[in-house]
């Protein structure tokens, strides 16, 4: 199935997903790759439904406390947009220093990651899923971002620009600020994960025993705070990276004064 077959770009498809939200199952299983997550994000990003419409649709069918996990997660998206509105283009740069100075991180995404042949099953499966579905579960996004930044010493911005342009739900605020949260430039510690964490939440084909992530959190923390990338043994065979579906911004956004008195077309997204 292609990404657009998995996520048909219609209002009916968005409404069907809202009708299928199971808040109790969601709260119990959302951390698992095969858990009851909604996969609503492409519809929200592209404006098929707004967050209040999602919430109203779920509340019409289920009793939902304001502190319910589902409401809390919708709140993250709202929060990231709030930060974007206040900080503007600054969200494209580190909000503060992370575990290492900026110069410790390379500005390029390595080919073995882009081609899903790092030899770490959790990472290679995540990249393949990203390319074939245009979607990744939240936990897989966190694992991929953490590996890229903390183990391979790639600057979070390079990873964020790459990922946002392969996602059907690519959203500058949620994506770039989440990368900063993982990197520790938008939070106070690096987000780290290990093979045990993957084994707990992902199917067997993702399990990564014996790989570079099969280590303790103390060892991972030391790696994150060292400028040296982990040694890699890339596989010979990988996948071809599909073309990027958008180009992340590199200059300043146009200001109102730049376009005053002219007809302006806003091209989505
Ligand atoms: C590195 C990284 C990059 C990300 N990039 C994007 C992105 O480009 N676009 C995007 O929409 N989300 C992004 N997220 C947030 C989150 O992973 C996705 O919103 C979520 O996985 C979408 O799947 P879902 O609709 O099944 O989510 P569900 O768990 O079913 O949640 C329902 C809705 O709540 C919101 N939501 C849930 N969790 C989060 C979260 N942690 N942060 C922000 N909003 C959340 C989303 O709008 C989502 O559609 C990113 C997270 C990380 C760690």
Percent of the chain topping pLDDT 70: 95
- Give the pLDDT confidence score for residue 254 in this predicted structure: 63
pLDDT tens string 77-105: 999 999 999 999 999 999 999 999 999 99
My answer on whether 88 and 107 are in the same domain is no
Q: Which residue, 224, 243, 261, sits at the end of a domain?
A: 224
Overall average pLDDT of the 199-219 stretch: 98
- Give the pLDDT confidence score for residue 260 in this predicted structure: 84
My answer on whether 113 and 169 are in the same domain is yes
- Give the pLDDT confidence score for residue 262 in this predicted structure: 83
- Give the pLDDT confidence score for residue 221 in this predicted structure: 98
**Residue 47, domain member (yes or no):** yes
C-alpha distances (whole Å) from 28 to each of 38, 46, 69, 167 are 13, 28, 9, 26
Q: How far is the CA of 138 from the centre of ligand 1 (A)?
A: 6
- Give the pLDDT confidence score for residue 228 in this predicted structure: 97
Task: Please say if the pLDDT value at position 246 is more than 90.
Answer: no
pLDDT tens string 20-43: 999 999 999 999 999 999 999 999
My answer on whether 130 and 86 are in the same domain is no
My answer on whether 142 and 214 are in the same domain is yes
Q: Ligand 1 pocket, 197 CB below 6 A? A: no
Overall average pLDDT of the 62-71 stretch: 95
For residue 167, which atom of ligand 1 is closest to its CA?
Answer: 8
My answer on whether 153 and 172 are in the same domain is yes
**Residue 198, domain member (yes or no):** yes
My answer on whether 61 and 174 are in the same domain is no
Overall average pLDDT of the 228-254 stretch: 83
Task: Please say if the pLDDT value at position 196 is more than 80.
Answer: yes
Overall average pLDDT of the 172-187 stretch: 97
- Give the pLDDT confidence score for residue 269 in this predicted structure: 52
Q: Which residue, 37, 66, 92, sits at the end of a domain?
A: 92
Identify the band that residue 248 occupies on the pLDDT scale cut at 50, 70 and 90: low
Overall average pLDDT of the 212-228 stretch: 98
My answer on whether 200 and 87 are in the same domain is no
My answer on whether 211 and 106 are in the same domain is yes
- Give the pLDDT confidence score for residue 264 in this predicted structure: 72
- Give the pLDDT confidence score for residue 205 in this predicted structure: 98
Q: What rounded mean pLDDT belongs to the chain? A: 94
Q: How far is the CA of 259 from the centre of ligand 1 (A)?
A: 33
Rg (C-alpha) for the chain, rounded Å, is 19
Q: Ligand 1 pocket, 175 CB below 6 A? A: yes
Q: Ligand 1 pocket, 74 CB below 6 A? A: yes
My answer on whether 219 and 153 are in the same domain is yes
- Give the pLDDT confidence score for residue 252 in this predicted structure: 58
**Residue 243, domain member (yes or no):** no
In this structure, the residue with its CA closest to atom 20 of ligand 1 is 138
- Give the pLDDT confidence score for residue 265 in this predicted structure: 67
Beta carbons of 36 and 26 less than 8 angstroms apart: yes
My answer on whether 110 and 220 are in the same domain is yes
* C-alpha–C-alpha distance, residues 116 and 114, integer Å: 6
My answer on whether 82 and 10 are in the same domain is yes
Q: Ligand 1 pocket, 146 CB below 6 A? A: no
Q: How far is the CA of 95 from the centre of ligand 1 (A)?
A: 20
Query: 3-11: long-range contacts at Cβ-Cβ below 8 A with a sequence spacing of 24 or more?
Result: 3/132, 3/133, 3/134, 3/135, 3/168, 6/133, 6/134, 6/135, 7/39, 7/42, 7/43, 7/134, 7/135, 7/168, 9/46, 9/48, 10/48, 11/48, 11/49
- Give the pLDDT confidence score for residue 1 in this predicted structure: 87
Range of the domain at 150: 102-224
Identify the band that residue 175 occupies on the pLDDT scale cut at 50, 70 and 90: very high
Identify the band that residue 75 occupies on the pLDDT scale cut at 50, 70 and 90: very high
Does the bond joining 269 to the residue before it have cis omega, within 30 degrees of 0? Answer: yes
- Give the pLDDT confidence score for residue 255 in this predicted structure: 72
In this structure, the residue with its CA closest to atom 19 of ligand 1 is 41
In this structure, the residue with its CA closest to atom 53 of ligand 1 is 142
C-alpha distances (whole Å) from 198 to each of 5, 49, 203 are 28, 32, 8
Q: Domain total for the chain?
A: 2
- Phi/psi for 180 (5° steps) reads -65, -35
My answer on whether 31 and 63 are in the same domain is yes
- Give the pLDDT confidence score for residue 261 in this predicted structure: 86
- Give the pLDDT confidence score for residue 190 in this predicted structure: 98
Q: How far is the CA of 73 from the centre of ligand 1 (A)?
A: 8
């Amino acid at each position: 199935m292609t990404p657009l077959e998995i996520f048909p770009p219609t209002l009916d498809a968005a409404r069907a997903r809202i009708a299928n939200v199971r808040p109790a199952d969601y709260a119990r299983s959302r951390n698992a790759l095969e858990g009851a997550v909604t996969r609503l994000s492409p519809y929200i990003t592209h404006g098929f439904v707004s967050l209040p419409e999602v919430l109203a649709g779920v509340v019409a069918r289920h009793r939902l406390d304001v502190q319910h996990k589902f409401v809390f997660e919708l709140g993250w998206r709202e929060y990231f947009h709030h930060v974007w509105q206040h900080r503007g283009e600054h969200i494209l740069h580190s909000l503060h220093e992370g575990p290492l100075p900026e110069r410790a991180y390379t500005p390029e995404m390595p080919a073995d990651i882009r081609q899903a042949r790092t030899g770490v099953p959790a990472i290679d499966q995540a990249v393949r899923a990203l390319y074939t579905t245009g979607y990744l579960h939240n936990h897989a996004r966190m694992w991929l971002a953490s590996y890229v930044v903390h183990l391979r010493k790639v600057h979070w911005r390079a990873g964020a620009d790459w990922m946002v342009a392969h996602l059907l739900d690519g959203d500058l605020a949620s994506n770039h600020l989440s990368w900063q949260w993982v990197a520790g430039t938008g939070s106070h510690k690096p987000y780290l994960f290990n093979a045990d964490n993957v084994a707990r939440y992902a199917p067997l084909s993702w399990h990564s025993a014996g790989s570079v992530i099969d280590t303790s959190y103390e060892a991972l923390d030391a790696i994150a705070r060292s400028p040296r990338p982990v040694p890699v043994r890339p596989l010979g065979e990988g996948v071809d990276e599909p073309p990027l579906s958008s180009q992340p911004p590199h200059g300043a956004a146009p200001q109102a004064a730049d376009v005053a008195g002219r007809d302006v077309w806003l091209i989505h997204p």
